[in-house]
Amino acid sequence: AQTVTQSQPEMSVQEAETVTLSCTYDTSESDYYLFWYKQPPSRQMILVIRQEAYKQQNATENRFSVNFQKAAKSFSLKISDSQLGDAAMYFCAYRSALEYGNKLVFGAGTILRVKS
């Protein structure tokens, strides 16, 4: 079974600064998808960024980028120019590409606080 570990329960960042959230995962599969989801106080999970394991290039979405290290099974999220609206719980998630369906395995989450 796959597992996802987020070792930082809470992080803080100053507005306009950069912060990196860590995520490691364990799998014996070679093909899979990795995601970062954001859950603000409204509770609705919002996809921030996704990475296909077969792609070597790190995904980027505006101020959000990932550092995907497949051999190390590491998938960190970098938020540049942090904004107050980035404050939320961030979840790292794994999905197998070998199984049909949309079963996501989530990490425990990291609370991100943004200070003005």
Partner 1 sequence: KAGVTQTPRYLIKTRGQQVTLSCSPISGHRSVSWYQQTPGQGLQFLFEYFSETQRNKGNFPGRFSGRQFSNSRSEMNVSTLELGDSALYLCASSLLGIHDSGTEAFFGQGTRLTVV
Q: How far apart are CA 38 and CA 53, in angstroms?
A: 21
Measured from the CB atom, the residue of 9 and 85 that comes closer to partner 1 is 9
Number of residues that bind partner 1 (CB under 8 A): 25
**Interacting stretch for partner 1, rule CB under 8 A, among 7-15, 18-26, 45-53, 69-77?**
45-53
**Interacting stretch for partner 1, rule CB under 8 A, among 14-22, 64-72, 77-85, 100-108?**
100-108
**Interacting stretch for partner 1, rule CB under 8 A, among 14-22, 42-50, 62-70, 72-80?**
42-50
Report residue 64: phi and psi, to 5°.
Answer: -105, 135
Exactly one of 3, 14, 108, 113 binds partner 1 (CB under 8 A); that residue is 108
Q: How many residues does the chain have?
A: 116
111 forms part of the interface with partner 1 (CB under 8 A): no
Query: Quick check: 66 and 77 in contact, CB under 8 A?
Result: yes
| Phi-psi region at 30: left, alpha or beta (left = phi > 0; alpha = psi -120 to 50) | alpha
Distance of CA 104 to the CA centre of its chain: 13
Which chain residues interact with partner 1 by CB under 8 A?
Answer: 33, 37, 42-47, 50, 52, 91, 95-97, 99-109
